[in-house]
Structure 1
């Protein structure tokens, strides 16, 4: 494999995550998309379902044929539903391909926890152990040494980037964390679903999967590692009538008196050199529109001296930093390229 330029296949290319991978990789200077794969639409042009991709360099959707894909690609992105990647990943790894999985199949280290939250039988424990959790700003050094990345969930990325430095530093009580998360409708995927029907979501705002969202154990797994003890959180998700974007508003008790300016400095130091995390100055907080269409995560803080709590505001585009963009960032890291390659977009505004 020529590390100066590689070929990529995308499995699950008719969902929003797969289509976003196609869009972003068209601008990557070192990657050529040579195969877009859909088990349900094999042999049809990708532009038939997505006319905005009329100029894509690969014309027809391929079926899932490991030998064919191996002859056409060096890396495979799995943008498949939960329960599917665990069957495909070992075949591609055995074929010598690098694999970046955007599903939840390899994120949780405990098979029992996976079964409880995802309602599927877990993947092979050896493969779960082999997969590197791809929260790029935290585990980037490990990503650079692997050939198998488990890409984090969208809510998880937004939450963890907002909380991890404070938990790691011991500045907040991890047992007090409450996460209030809001997502645009694209997070539900492209499949037909009553909850994402226009007349159901337009001019509406609702909570869902209360105390049952599958990203909960993923968040707790990483925060437990940061805190060096088990962490349990209250995590509530909401659907808002917009297409893209996640805002996580998070609350926690301070372990000692701190100022908002001190949090700004802590986070700027922690994420120094990581270009996709932008820390707002004291007294300013981010909005979802300010990261729209990009791989940025923007974070702001407010310490409340009256209550002894701190509020974190963290925003991402759920389809980019929350999915396809971070997957490409992880590809850059495992290829030892500049992690910003193909991802240097200015947010679409307004």
Structure 2
């Protein structure tokens, strides 16, 4: 019998991506789609590329009967998400795609997001959703907090290196390029075609990006002491994709071997042969992450590059991967589609 699935925030990019992925899942059935601003509309009118699917119409969250729902994906904005999840039935498994349950310390949440947390009991039970590193906890969780797409990309590079002690923890630079869909679907002046195309700009420069809260939390826990990375994201005129380049102090071959060993059995993380680096073109529309390592001309330094699709492996694909574990399904179900190229 198929698991009954609800998606809240179904009119956004991550909501549409969840629908696209679940459409190929043999054991999931979407029974409710919530999207308050577009309630009453069909998915075909909001996202014409989904018109071939038999989907329920969009409704308000208040109209959804969760009694028969097994798992709910919550793709709502932060602050809104915590208030909605707080009031959902306790039998319901939830995968949250917002930032609301990623940070374990309420003071850190307030520091990075500017408001007090409104669902502290839920926050205490939430499991961080970086699947490859929290697999066992996710499988038994009721509430999983999906990671930030930038945060996921950086962690796939750096977590194994920090754990293995093969890099200098006080000299880590992470330079990241993110496609425009990472900013969501709401109208923003700086995302207009005339203002975004043919350009490329840094933002949140100097350590103000909110995903730094996730880096600080996760890297410091791994190292057993504070670890602070230099991180600068850049907005690029592309629809999908993240390319992260990390500059680290350590032997390049040891860095490569550590990543190869860590991800040898992982279905979605591909470590390239030494000296090769990935492209966002090679992971587009897929749940794969490609990682490459090369040495620098300066001895004792390495350059690590990772590419993933921010809407899939960075968000909705990761969410489905976690949901599979929570529901006892094969982790790869619905997620093995080949990347779209060119």
Q: How many residues align?
A: 341
- Alignment of 1:22 onto 2:19: yes
TM-score (normalizing by structure 2): 0.96
Which residue of the other structure, out of 98, 101, 109, is the alignment partner of 1:106? 101
Which residue of the other structure, out of 302, 305, 311, is the alignment partner of 1:313? 305
| 3-state SS of paired residue (1:35) | strand
Is the contact made by 1:21 and 1:325 (CA closer than 8 Å) also made in structure 2? yes
- Return 5+ residue gaps in structure 1 as ranges: none
- Partner residue of 2:255? 263
CA distance in 2, matches of 1:313, 1:259: 12
Cα distance, 1:65 vs structure 2: 2.3
Is the contact made by 2:86 and 2:119 (CA closer than 8 Å) also made in structure 1? no
| 3-state SS of paired residue (1:190) | coil
1:21-62 superposed Cα distances (whole Å, 9 cap, x missing partner): 111111111101111111111111121121111123223112
CA distance in 2, matches of 1:342, 1:144: 17
| Equivalent residues in 2 for 1:172-251, closer than 5 Å | 172-210=167-205, 211-251=207-247
Is the contact made by 1:8 and 1:33 (CA closer than 8 Å) also made in structure 2? yes
Cα distance, 1:125 vs structure 2: 2.8
Is the contact made by 2:252 and 2:303 (CA closer than 8 Å) also made in structure 1? no
| 3-state SS of paired residue (1:179) | strand
1:188-209 superposed Cα distances (whole Å, 9 cap, x missing partner): 1111111211011111010111
CA distance in 1, matches of 2:53, 2:126: 30
Is the contact made by 1:105 and 1:123 (CA closer than 8 Å) also made in structure 2? no
CA distance in 1, matches of 2:17, 2:119: 29
- Partner residue of 1:81? 77
Cα distance, 1:304 vs structure 2: 2.7
CA distance in 1, matches of 2:65, 2:198: 44
Is the contact made by 1:34 and 1:57 (CA closer than 8 Å) also made in structure 2? no
CA distance in 2, matches of 1:229, 1:135: 21
Tell me the C-alpha RMSD between the 2 structures: 1.4
- Partner residue of 1:34? 31
| 3-state SS of paired residue (1:295) | coil
| 3-state SS of paired residue (1:298) | strand
1:159-205 superposed Cα distances (whole Å, 9 cap, x missing partner): 10111101000111222111101001111111111121101111101
- Alignment of 1:71 onto 2:67: yes
- Return 5+ residue gaps in structure 2 as ranges: none
Which residue of the other structure, out of 87, 106, 120, is the alignment partner of 2:115? 120
Is the contact made by 2:83 and 2:119 (CA closer than 8 Å) also made in structure 1? no
1:126-171 superposed Cα distances (whole Å, 9 cap, x missing partner): 3212000010011111101111100001001111011110100011
| 3-state SS of paired residue (2:292) | strand
TM-score (normalizing by structure 1): 0.94
- Partner residue of 1:301? 293
Cα distance, 1:307 vs structure 2: 4.2
- Partner residue of 2:327? 335
| Equivalent residues in 2 for 1:128-167, closer than 5 Å | 128-167=123-162
CA distance in 2, matches of 1:65, 1:186: 28
CA distance in 1, matches of 2:293, 2:248: 11
Is the contact made by 1:14 and 1:38 (CA closer than 8 Å) also made in structure 2? yes
